[in-house]
Amino acid sequence: MNSKNSVLTDYAYTEILRMILSGEIKHGTRIREDILANQLDISRTPIREAVNRLTQNGFIINIQRKGLYCVKFTRKELLDIMELRITLENLTFEKCIKMASQEDILRFQQTIDEFHEKLDALQNKNEEPGRKVTTLLHNEYDIRFHVDIARVSTSTRLIQYVGEVENLLLVARQRIYSNHERVEIIRRSWEQHGLMLDAIRDRDKKQARRLLEEHLALMKETQVNVDYFDEITEYSKEPADC
């Protein structure tokens, strides 16, 4: 692949992933490369390469004799991904507690502080910020917090896997935050982030492990114990209205 195609593929990958995570491409809907190429105003080749990468990373699935679809998780699939996340994060927190410098810890605190500052600014501007705005803000800083912890390990593979699992879970979050409890869910999540940082600062592996289990319990409570998920996932025959 030449450098121009590589740049276009990266662009297509980022844009299609953004559309999936923002809900512009709805879960379970058909994806057509020609429609995406027209929308992004680039040729089919980088679109095809980007879709292949998204398929490999689990955001798009290729159903034989039916076509390409935006992934839609069953309850069991989501639980499997959450269990994988907690396994990976137990490892990242263990390494972080052992290896984190004071500069790393200050960076984690800055992420928490920046999130609260931006959320407060949204709330001061509007008593009830839009669901999408608050959700995207939470998602951006939540991924930054967890991936930054993984980065302390300096393990390229571990950082990559944590990022991919975090992004996969974003696919499942889109409807969760549409309910009236989203503000409380976000508040509880960031309260846990603060306690996790305290455990890192105190080099307390046992406490970090306990907090990660509580974080998993919150994910299960708010992302699995809802009526949205079905054990049998059906995919629409109609292409996504991108």
DSSP string for 96-130: HHHH--HHHHHHHHHHHHHHHHHHHHHHHH-SS--
Both 88 and 177 in one domain: the answer is yes
Provide CB contacts within 8 A for 180, sequence distance 6+. none
**112 within some domain:** yes
Domain boundary among 70, 90, 116: 70
Rounded-to-integer distance, Cα 167 and Cα 147, Å: 11
Tens digit of each residue's pLDDT (9 = 90 or more) over 52-75: 999 998 889 999 888 999 988 888
- What domain count does the chain have? 2
As a whole number, mean pLDDT of residues 38-47 equals: 94
> Does 232 score more than 50 pLDDT?
no
Both 178 and 58 in one domain: the answer is no
**237 within some domain:** no
pLDDT of residue 21: 79
Contact 142, 218 (CB under 8 A): no
- CATH number, domain of 36, equals 1.10.10.10
pLDDT of residue 183: 77
Range of 50's domain?
Answer: 3-70
Both 57 and 153 in one domain: the answer is no
Partner residues linked to 61 by β-bridges: 69
Both 96 and 162 in one domain: the answer is yes
Q: Tell me how far CA of residue 128 lies from CA of 122, 140, 178, 179, 225, in angstroms.
A: 8, 19, 13, 13, 25
Please report, for the chain, how many H helices and E strands are present, in that order.
9, 3
**36 within some domain:** yes
What pTM did the predictor assign? 0.78
Answer with the residue of higher pLDDT: 1 or 67.
67
Which pLDDT band holds residue 236 (cuts at 50, 70, 90)? low
